[in-house]
Structure 1
Amino acid sequence: MKKQYKIITMLFIVICSFITVLNYSSKIKTKNGSVFGSFHRSDTVKRLVVGRSSDAITLDPSNMTDIDSIKVTANIFETLVKYEREGKEIKPGLAVDWKCSEDGLTWVFKLRQGVKFHDETDFNAQSVVFNFQRWMDINNPYHKGQFSYWNYVFGGFPGFVKSVVALSDYTVEIKLSKPYAPFLSTLTMPIFSIESPEAIKKYGTEVYKHPVGTGPFCFKSWNPNDNILLVRNNGYWYTNAKVDEVEFKVIPLGKDRLDQLKKGTIHIADNLSPDDTLTAERDGKLQLFLRPCFNVGYMAMNNEKTPFNNRQVRTAISYAINKDELIKEAFDNIAKPAKTFIPPMFPGYNESIEPIEYNIEKSIELLKEAGYPQGFKTTLEVMECSRNYFPRPLQVAQYIKESLKKVNIEVNIKTYSWDEYLKRIRNGEHELALIGWTGDNIDPDNFLNTLLSSDNAKLGIASNYSFYKNKEIDTLLTQARETNDMVFRKNLYKKLLGIVNYDMPAIPLAHTMPVVATSLYVEGYSPYITGVESLESVDIKQ
Structure 2
Amino acid sequence: MKKKWYVSMLALVLAISLALVGCGKSSEETGTKDSGGSAGGSGDKETTLIFGRGGDAVSLDPATATDGESFKVTQNIFDTLISFGEQSTDLEPGLATEWNASEDGLTYTLKLREGVKFHDGTDFNAEAVVANFKRWQSGDKEQYYYYNSQFGDIITEVKAEDPTTVVFTLSRPLAPFFKNLAMSPFAISSPAAFEQHGDKYNENPVGTGPFKFKEWKRNDRITIEKNAEYWMEGEPKLEQVIFTVIPENSARLNALQTGEVDLIDGVNFSDVPSIDGNDSLQTFFRPSLNIAYLGLTSTRGPLKDKLVRQALNHAVDKQALLDAFYAGEGTPAKNPMPEVVEGYNAAIEDYPFDLEKAKALLAEAGYADGFEMELWAMPVARPYMPDGQKVAEALQANFEKIGVKAKIVTYEWATYLDKARAGEADSFLLGWTGDNGDADNFLYVLLDKDSIGSNNYSYYSNDEVHNLLIEAQSTVDQAKRNELYARAQEIIKDDAPWIPLVHSTPALAGKANLKGFKPHPTGSDKLTGVEFE
Hey, what does 1:9 align to over in structure 2? none
Is residue 257 from structure 1 mapped to residue 269 from structure 2 by the alignment?
A: no
SS of equivalent to 2:417: helix
Q: Work out the CA distance in 1 between the residues paired with 2:74 and 2:279.
A: 32
8 Å contact from structure 2 (residues 375, 428) kept in 1: yes
2:331 matched to 1:339? no
Greater alpha carbon shift after TM alignment, 213-222 vs 273-282: 273-282
TM-score after normalising by structure 2: 0.90
Residue 495 of structure 1 corresponds to 487
Q: How does 1:331-410 map to 2 (within 5 A)?
A: 331-410=326-405
State the match for 2:438 in structure 1: 443
- Residue deviations 1:205-259 (CA, integer Å, cap 9, x gap): 1111111111111111111111111111111111231111011111111111111
TM-score (normalizing by structure 1):
0.89
Alignment of 1:139-538 (within 5 A): 146-155=143-152, 159-239=153-233, 240-458=235-453, 462-538=454-530
> For the Cα contact (< 8 Å) 2:40–2:48, is it kept in 1?
no
Could you say what secondary structure the match of 1:165 adopts? strand
Q: Which amino acid aligns with 1:215?
A: G
Question: Is 1:61–1:193's contact at 8 Å kept on the other side of the alignment?
Answer: yes
* Separation (CA, whole Å) in 2 of partners of 1:144 and 1:308: 27
Partner Cα distance (1:236, 1:145) in 2: 33
Gaps of 5+ in 2: 1-26, 29-38
**Given residue 476 of structure 1, which amino acid in structure 2 is its aligned partner?**
L
Q: 2: distance between equivalents of 1:123 and 1:269?
A: 33
Opposite residue 227 of structure 2, the aligned amino acid is N
| 1:81 aligns to 2:76 (yes or no) | no
Deviation at 1:121, TM superposition (A): 0.9
What amino acid is aligned across from residue 80 of structure 1 in structure 2? L
Q: Secondary structure at the match of 1:74?
A: helix
Distance 1:372 1:331 in 2: 33
Give the secondary-structure state (helix, strand or coil) at the position aligned to 1:57: coil
Q: Which amino acid aligns with 1:78?
A: D
The alignment partner of 1:525 has SS state of coil
Q: Which amino acid counterpart does residue 494 of structure 1 have in structure 2?
A: A
Q: Distance in 2 between matches of 1:172 and 1:414?
A: 48
Instruction: Note the C-alpha offset of 1:284.
Output: 2.5
CA distance in 2, matches of 1:501, 1:385: 28
Are the equivalent residues in 2 in contact too, given 1:74–1:532 (CA < 8 A)? yes
CA distance in 2, matches of 1:345, 1:467: 26
Q: Does 1:49 align with 2:80?
A: no
* 1:258–1:280 Cα contact (<8 Å) kept: no
Compared CA separation, residues 144 and 298, structure 1 to 2 (3 A): closer
Maintained 8 Å contact 2:87/2:287: no
- Cα 1:395–1:114 shift into 2, 3 Å: same
Native 8 Å contact 2:223 2:240 kept in 1: yes
What is the CA deviation profile of residues 147-204 of structure 1, one whole-angstrom value per residue up to 9, with x for unaligned ones?
111111123xxx1110111101111111111110000000001110111111112111
Which residue type is aligned with residue 273 of structure 1? Answer: N
Query: Cα gap change, 1:145/1:115 in structure 2, threshold over 3 Å: closer, same or farther?
Result: farther
Cα drift, residue 329 of structure 1: 1.6
State the shift of 1:449 in Å: 0.6
Is 2:124 aligned against 1:135? no
What residue in structure 2 maps to residue 105 of structure 1? 106
User: Residue 268 of structure 1 contacts residue 519 of structure 1 at CA under 8 Å; is this kept in 2?
Assistant: yes
Q: Measure how far apart 1:276 and its partner are.
A: 3.1
The letter for the 2-side match of 1:114 is: G
Q: What is the number of residues matched between the two proteins?
A: 496
Q: 1:275 Cα shift?
A: 3.3
Larger radius of gyration: 1
**Cα displacement (A) at 1:315:** 0.7
Residue 145 (structure 1) shift: 7.1
Q: Distance in 1 between matches of 2:103 and 2:42?
A: 54
Deviating more after overlay: 421-430 vs 526-535: 526-535
Q: Distance in 2 between matches of 1:433 and 1:347?
A: 27
State the 1:99 CA deviation: 1.6
Q: Which runs of 5+ in 1 are unaligned?
A: 1-21, 24-37
For the residue of structure 1 that corresponds to 2:224, the secondary structure is strand
SS of corresponding position for 2:335:
coil
User: Percent identity among equivalent residues?
Assistant: 40
Is the partner of 1:248 in helix, strand or coil? strand
Letter in 2 for 1:448: L
C-alpha separation in 2, matches of 1:360 and 1:62: 44
C-alpha distance in structure 2 between counterparts of 1:323 and 1:41, whole Å: 50
How much is the aligned-residue C-alpha RMSD, in angstroms? 1.8
